[in-house]
């Protein structure tokens, strides 16, 4: 039976899907397109060279197994790398049992790394350039999550081999406060640590524009261009601010071309993808698309908490877990705001000699968001617990001693004591007029189950998060 290249690759994807997590599958395998099947070799098309390198480094054994399952022991895989609007067929053949990995594929554009820079005056040594980097921005302090995994992975690849990957330029885009500057400068700092002699420069687009204005005034545009063409790794932050500035774009175009042609690395950040930069010249947008455009998305709750805890640990700050959760439930879209809340919280605690708790966090967060979580009430907890256990709320307040209802009632009291500021007497009153000793006994019974029953522990954690998140979303 004649096999079709699409059917063979679909068969491979079925196996791959069962062996990698959903995020990795979506990132590294969904973009691949099968091209053809000939002589027991399946050719697949990948978006760029980095994609090929990543697959070979992390998934070579999985690919080896899946391709043999589909085509037999003599089956092999070949890559076709898509670069910009040109297709460069680059093959990495895996022959026989060895299934060897080809270490690199060097596209023609990279051959410029051997060209001497014609703007460097012979006999004059390259001047020492201050990279303008914040040393606190590093990969170690850049917390990875689903929201930034591709951009972070690409950044690390660039830092290991600046100018030598298909990620040139690397364009990192996303909303304000999601870590674009941190990631871009982390790349620069990593290059300086691992590549002695490399010249790195970070510059904001505003500063770049002002420098151009001054160079025009001083009739020194050539000196300005020559200086920037000395840079091995150029990082331009907020490139979108060059929109509608024709002269600035023209000069940057020439700098970009020379750096790219000589194998230097360009890293750009923006609040939008290149295709949405309406005031940018078409020739610049085209060049921005030569490499990789990686977006930073809003971090999920777990990633926000990890980021906040990392920053607190670095500063030697100890904040209770419930305060960390409360902050991260309310600050959703901006990492800078998380840092601002942390600083304000410490200032309020120190200046007013107050303990850091949820009440203090509520006061601080009011300066950052228009509306914070509604107050958690005993009644709301009862409703959610009853819904979770599929009970009528009235049964939690009644006298029945059925075990499933007793556990739900005791858990409701435990969560009410933990998540509200109600007194034991007030909590008991909400459960059919029970006294405070019953509430104490119920809380102790729940705590004993938490210490001995992992399943019950997961149930309580899930309910607690559901209570907070439900209120946050309402």
CATH class of 149-296: alpha beta
Q: Which residues pair with 77 in a beta bridge?
A: 42
Q: What is the mean pLDDT of the chain?
A: 80
Residue 420 confidence class, pLDDT cut points 50, 70, 90: confident
Query: Once rounded to an integer, what is the mean pLDDT over residues 11-38?
Result: 86
Residue among 117, 139, 128 at smallest CA distance from 184? 139
CATH 1.10.1750.10 domain locations along the chain: 378-473
Give pLDDT, residue 180.
92
Q: Environment class of residue 459 by beta-carbon count within 10 Å: exposed (0-12), middle (13-18) or buried (19+)?
A: middle
- Give the residue with greater pLDDT, 442 vs 104: 442
pLDDT surpassing 80 at residue 53: no
319-330 pLDDT per residue, tens: 777 788 778 877
Q: What are phi and psi of 48, to 5 degrees?
A: -165, 180
Q: Going by CATH, does the domain composed of 378-473 fall within 3.40.640.10?
A: no
DSSP 84: T
258-270 pLDDT per residue, tens: 899 889 999 999 9
Candidate CATH numbers 3.30.300.180, 3.40.140.10, 3.40.30.10, 3.90.190.20; the one for domain 5-97? 3.30.300.180
CATH 1.10.8.60 domain locations along the chain: 301-365
* β pairing state of 41-46 and 33-38: antiparallel
How far is Cα 365 from Cα 263, in angstroms, rounded to an integer? Answer: 47
Residue 100 confidence class, pLDDT cut points 50, 70, 90: very low
Give pLDDT, residue 80.
83
Residue 474 confidence class, pLDDT cut points 50, 70, 90: very low
Give pLDDT, residue 160.
93
Give pLDDT, residue 407.
92
Residue 159 CA, distance from chain mean position: 17
Question: What is the CATH number that goes with domain 301-365?
Answer: 1.10.8.60
Residue 186 confidence class, pLDDT cut points 50, 70, 90: very high
Q: What are phi and psi of 211, to 5 degrees?
A: -65, -40
CATH 3.30.300.180 domain locations along the chain: 5-97
CATH 3.40.50.300 domain locations along the chain: 149-296
How far lies 172's CA from each of 177, 181, 474, in Å?
Answer: 13, 9, 33
**Minimum mean pLDDT range among 146-150, 370-374, 380-384, 388-392:** 370-374
DSSP 91: -
Residue 448 tokens read as 């004993």
Give pLDDT, residue 95.
36
pLDDT surpassing 80 at residue 473: no
Q: What are phi and psi of 16, to 5 degrees?
A: -60, -40
Cβ atoms 37, 75 nearer than 8 A: no
């Amino acid at each position: 039976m004649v096999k079709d290249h699409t059917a063979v690759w679909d068969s491979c994807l079925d196996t791959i899907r069962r062996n990698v997590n959903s995020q990795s599958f979506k990132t590294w395998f969904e973009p691949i397109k099968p091209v053809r099947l000939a002589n027991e070799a399946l050719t697949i098309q990948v978006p760029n060279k980095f994609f090929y390198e990543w697959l070979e480094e992390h998934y070579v054994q999985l690919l080896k197994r899946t391709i043999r399952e589909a085509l037999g022991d003599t089956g092999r895989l070949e890559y076709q790398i898509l670069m910009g609007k040109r297709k460069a067929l680059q093959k990495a053949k895996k022959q026989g049992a060895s299934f060897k990995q080809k270490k690199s594929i060097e596209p023609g554009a990279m051959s410029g790394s051997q060209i001497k820079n014609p703007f460097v005056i012979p006999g004059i040594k390259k001047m020492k350039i201050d990279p303008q980097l914040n040393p606190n921005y590093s990969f170690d302090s850049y917390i990875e999550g689903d929201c930034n995994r591709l951009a972070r992975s690409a950044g690390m690849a660039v830092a290991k081999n600046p100018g030598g990957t298909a990620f040139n330029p690397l364009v990192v885009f996303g909303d304000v406060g999601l870590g674009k500057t941190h990631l871009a400068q982390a790349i620069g700092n990593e290059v300086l640590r691992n590549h002695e002699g490399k010249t790195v420069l970070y510059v904001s687009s505003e500063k770049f524009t002002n420098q151009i204005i001054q160079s025009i005034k001083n009739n020194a545009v050539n000196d300005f261009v020559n200086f920037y063409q000395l840079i091995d790794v150029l990082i331009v932050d907020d490139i979108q601010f060059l929109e509608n500035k024709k002269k600035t774009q023209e000069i940057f175009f020439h700098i970009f071309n020379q750096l790219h042609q000589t194998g230097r690395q360009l890293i750009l950040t923006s609040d939008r993808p290149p295709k949405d930069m309406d005031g940018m010249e078409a020739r610049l947008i085209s060049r921005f698309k030569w490499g990789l455009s990686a977006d930073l998305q809003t971090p999920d709750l777990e990633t926000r908490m990890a980021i906040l805890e990392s920053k607190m640990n670095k500063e030697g700050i100890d904040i209770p877990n419930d305060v960390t959760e409360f902050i991260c439930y309310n600050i959703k879209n901006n990492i800078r705001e998380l840092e601002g809340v942390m600083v304000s919280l410490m200032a309020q605690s120190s200046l007013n000699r107050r303990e850091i708790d949820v009440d203090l966090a509520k006061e601080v967060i009011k300066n950052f968001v228009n509306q914070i979580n509604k107050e958690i009430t005993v009644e709301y907890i009862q409703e959610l617990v009853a819904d979770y256990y599929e009970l009528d709320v009235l049964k939690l307040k009644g006298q029945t001693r059925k075990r499933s209802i007793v556990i739900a009632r005791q858990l409701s009291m435990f969560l009410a004591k933990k998540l509200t500021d109600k007194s034991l007497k007030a909590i008991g009153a909400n459960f059919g007029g029970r006294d405070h000793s019953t509430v104490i006994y119920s809380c102790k019974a729940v705590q004993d189950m938490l210490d001995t029953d992992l399943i019950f522990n997961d149930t309580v954690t899930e309910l607690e998060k559901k209570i907070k998140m439900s209120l946050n979303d309402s």
